[in-house]
Amino acid sequence: MLENSDAMIALLNQLNEPQRQAVENTAGPVMIIAGAGSGKTRVLTYRIAYLLAQGVDAFNILSLTFTNKAAGEMRQRIEKLVGKEARNLWMGTFHSVFAKILRIEAQAIGFPSNFTIYDTDDSRSLIKAILKELNLDDKTYKPSAVHNRISMAKNRLVSWQSYNTNPVFQEDDALSGRPQIGKIYQLYQDRLKKAGSMDFDDLLFNTNILFRDHPDILIKYQMKFQYIMVDEYQDTNMSQYLITKRLAEMYENICVVGDDAQSIYAFRGADIQNILNFEKDYPNLRVFRLEQNYRSTKTIVEAANSVIKNNRHQLEKNVWTSNEDGDLIELIKAHSDTEEGKLVATHIFEEKMKEGWGSGEFAILYRTNSQSRSMEEALRRMNIKYKIVGGTSFYQRKEVKDMLAYLRFTLNTKDEESFKRIINLPKRGIGDSSVQKIVLTAVEQGVEIWDVLEQAHLILPGRASKPILDFVTLIKTFQHAAQQMHAFDFAAKVAKESGLLRELYDDKTPEGVSRYENVQELLNGIQEFSENPENEDISIGKFLQDVSLMTDADDKKKQDKDCVTLMTIHGAKGLEFKSVFIVGLEEDLFPGQVDDRSDLEEERRLFYVAITRAEKRLRISYATSRYRFGTLRNCEPSRFLEEINSKYLKVTHKFIVEEKPASAGGSFMNQFQTKQVPVRKTVTPVSNHKTSDNFVPTPPKNLNPGDRVEHAKFGFGTIVEMQENGAGDIRATVNYDTQGQKVMMLSFAKLMKVQ
């Protein structure tokens, strides 16, 4: 708690001089150029704590980040320093903060305050329905491509009206064979508005509309947010740039933090010019450079510098470290992508044995998701646990989305996508033709779907209308409950009385059990939300908003931490690992096919980000041949490999490390002209557990936490926790001696109690 000036001084003394200057200079526009691993989170945290210690009201501080995880961690750090006052900060992602403002001001732009937020699947489902209504071929008008086109327009603040009168857009669409995209965009926005919904892009697009068309509302928030901080400013798009610029116009106490060398999201609309040209917006700008890297070894830092210096367009900085020199970077040459996977897996296995590092200390980074296949196969053969980040998110799984759709439709009966998802789930005998007739009637008459549902007996014969009217009664029951209950009690009621939980429970296939467990896990998450003392609002509406705004980077809490992490480099930004493998350094793969210098420089920044994820050890690999699109192709080493100063490299070829480092002036390519060397034997994978001869499963009722147990596959372990679910089944958390912690349903996982 910063209760006196001495405490604040002690805090500031923990910072190096550039960090301290960035914290203490709070008046006027400030740009903090934060090199990789330079402690920018600490600076942001201390800067906010410093403002609060100076008497600034927490309600007058706006802090914007790009993930909820980053915002949550920062808030926790600040709360440790200043106490519960930190909870009053306006802190979160662009989307979460401005969704909050839009809910307060929704009526000004013609939306209900409880508007639904559509995710990507919802948006594409709606686009697919529009394509069907327009009789357009969804192979020509792929929903994903149409959605991306609309998203691009919104991020550039191009409305459907402007889109349809812009000759450049019209010509582009005509040349691509999709001249109706403007019409689809118009219908898509009309349907969103009618459904009382916004998609993810609308949260920023509509905030700009709100501030543009309602100057009184803009002034209200300009006066409120006297101090504005934006993290990862190099990743902002035009929409985000304009919002922050407008909000800062009154006080100009705006602080942006970023690193142009880590700008890697142009494909999402991020504009690196926002940070490169920031000084043009604020001529009295003060710039502070955080150049000391605390994360990586000197070898890794200087190798990264030798790469990024090749970019022409960048802000001046010199990243350095006082850390140890560390190991040279290993460059691995493989004859194929399959061999590349084996080499990487073998290195991980041996390093785990040698260093005693857990699997969670390792990461394999690649340019495209398809590269994970050979890595996965090799890791599985060696029984090394791994997780893929960026696969199907928990909240994108069908059964989870089904449950969320029930909750969403209860709160917003205008929500057409949720309606179509749940109207016949579980099956109620409502045919597709009845659903189509309801939707068509609503569109033709210009009314809400709920109005048609309540009058279903007027448009459908008695037998067909009865299950629909029963559905209406069910939803009305849920609506009443939503007003009386907190989030968890309400969600549990919906899960049970909708019949969804029972249907999943009755499916005893492995897939069915997994789906049932996922819904149970969703309920666990809602219970955790409801019981969190930091959540003032524990309504189901607040929970649904939080879920809608969750990003891939936030959906990690339930994952096993002791796993090798496989992910794209884009997904790795902001993370760090003791040992990192960057795979697939080949032309046309990394860098991918580039059309101009801006593309090439972004690919180089991506490589820089990958290198700087490593703390202690870095290995880079490429293959001389690789299967791509079903064809075996010869590969050329990436041009980026030539850009690493060769004095930081050593070469690994067919499992053998050349101990003699490369000379300072030579090209790494010359090192491969050496004689062939014998192949080291691969390490034998760890075998599965062999079950005891007297193995007989113990009835679940005779098991208790603390019991030692044996599992046929995972071996011996100790029961940590047992919990009975709503359907009467028992779920046990078991900490296995060699396999780590696992959660299993005892009706399927047979355990024998051992003495």
Instruction: Please report where in the chains the tokens 């192979």 appear, as a residue.
Output: 139
Alpha-carbon distance of 731 to 747, in angstroms, equals 9
| 3-class state of residue 357 by DSSP | coil
Catalytic residue among 21, 26, 41, 273: 41
The C-alpha atoms of residue 462 and residue 465 are separated, in whole angstroms, by 5
- Which residues are paired to 751 by β-bridges? 711
Please calculate the CA angle 248-227-35 and round it to the nearest 5 degrees. 95
Cα–Cα separations (whole angstroms), residue 595 to 206, 424, 498, 599: 33, 49, 53, 7
Contacts of 343 (CB under 8 A, 6+ apart): 332, 334, 621, 652, 655
Torsion of CA 57, 88, 550, 193, to 10 degrees: -80
Q: Are 492 and 459 contacting, i.e. CB atoms less than 8 angstroms apart?
A: no
- From 105, 122, 231, 586, active-site residue: 231
**Annotated catalytic residue, options 45, 234, 262, 410:** 262
Q: Which of 448, 392, 444, 393 has its CA nearest to residue 418?
A: 448
From the list 20, 40, 149, 604, the catalytic residue is 40
- A 10 A CB-CB count for 171 gives 11
Q: Is 738 a catalytic residue?
A: no
Helices assigned H by DSSP within 112-226? 120-133, 143-155, 160-164, 167-175, 181-194, 200-213, 215-224
Q: Any alpha helices (H) in 498-638, and if so which ranges?
A: 500-506, 510-531, 540-548, 569-572, 597-611
**Catalytic entry in 173, 199, 201, 232:** 232
613 included as an active-site residue: yes
CA-based nearest residue to 445, from 458, 463, 464, 461: 458
User: Alpha-carbon distance 408 to 421, whole Å?
Assistant: 11
Q: Are 76 and 44 in contact (CB under 8 A)?
A: no
232 an active-site residue? Answer: yes
- Catalytic residue, candidates 613, 616, 619, 650: 613
Closest alpha carbon to 689 in 755, 751, 744: 751
40 is catalytic: yes
| Residues annotated as catalytic (active site), given as ranges | 40-41, 231-232, 262, 613
